[in-house]
């Protein structure tokens, strides 16, 4: 039986909601924003900076610059703040995995726990119209004018971050045990499938 579920997701695909639903069905802990709070405690950086340094950098161009800077620091043996946050998140994710069964969303958790045989790594995606609708329902109508740009930028940031720290392609189905289109199957059915896979010996 699997012990840890990691969920990577396209922005707006409902990955956070799906993770919460799966955790509720299995009665196990769910980790997403709490990972940021733990990283704040561990590093002393502000919550806003940790969000910016990970999946939620303020702009793709800024993230590209900072990732390049991070590589430059690493090449001379000096960890950048981005590397420090990534290292802290790694430690936190590994510690959480040792605590018991749980669902972990984002932050390269699938890669961080790659040496464990008890992980079920999931990638969640959906068509653009479904994602637009989901984001507007979750975050409000004030995003309506910029929704397509927001979807594109969020996914670029996640893809770039994942590539930089794992060397692999974010969203490539070969990197996951299970991929699911929530726009087609819905959150409830997707959650039931994941629960079933989780429970298999």
pLDDT at 38: 85
Q: What is the pLDDT of residue 14?
A: 95
> Is the distance from CB of 18 to CB of 191 less than 8 angstroms?
yes
Q: What is the pLDDT of residue 12?
A: 93
How confident is the model at residue 65, as a pLDDT? Answer: 47
DSSP 118: S
Which residues contact residue 44 at a Cβ distance below 8 angstroms, ignoring those fewer than 6 apart? none
pLDDT of residue 111: 96
Q: What is the pLDDT of residue 54?
A: 58
Residue 18 to residue 87: CA distance in whole angstroms: 26
Query: Residues 134, 126, 7, CA angle at the centre, nearest 5°?
Result: 90
pLDDT < 70: residue spans in the chain: 1, 52-79, 141-145, 201
C-alpha to C-alpha distance for 39 and 127, rounded to whole angstroms: 32
What pLDDT is attached to residue 1?
A: 65
Find all residues with CB under 8 Å of 151, minimum gap 6, and list them: 10, 11, 12, 128, 131, 132, 135
Phi, psi of 135 (to 5 degrees): -65, -45
pTM (2 d.p.): 0.83
Rounded Cα distance between 19 and 106, Å, is 10
Would you say 48 and 42 are in contact if contact means Cβ atoms under 8 Å apart? no
């Amino acid at each position: 039986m699997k012990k840890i579920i990691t969920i990577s997701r396209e922005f707006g695909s409902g990955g956070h909601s799906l993770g919460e639903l799966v955790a509720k069905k299995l009665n196990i802990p769910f980790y997403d924003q709490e990972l940021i709070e733990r990283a704040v405690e561990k590093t002393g950086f502000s919550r806003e900076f940790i969000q910016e340094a990970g999946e939620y950098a303020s702009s793709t161009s800024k993230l590209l610059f900072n990732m390049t800077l991070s590589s430059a620091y690493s090449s001379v043996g000096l960890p950048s703040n981005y590397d420090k946050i990534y290292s802290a998140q790694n430690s936190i994710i590994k510690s959480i995995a040792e605590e018991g069964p749980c669902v972990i969303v984002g932050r390269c958790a699938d890669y961080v726990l790659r040496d464990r045989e008890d992980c079920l790594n999931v990638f969640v995606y959906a068509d653009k119209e479904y994602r637009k609708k989901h984001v507007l329902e979750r975050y409000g109508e004030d995003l309506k004018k910029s929704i397509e740009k927001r979807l594109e930028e969020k996914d670029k940031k996640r893809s770039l971050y994942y590539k930089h720290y794992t060397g692999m392609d974010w969203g490539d189905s070969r990197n996951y045990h299970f991929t699911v289109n929530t726009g087609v199957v819905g959150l409830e059915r997707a959650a039931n499938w994941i629960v079933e896979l989780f429970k298999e010996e």
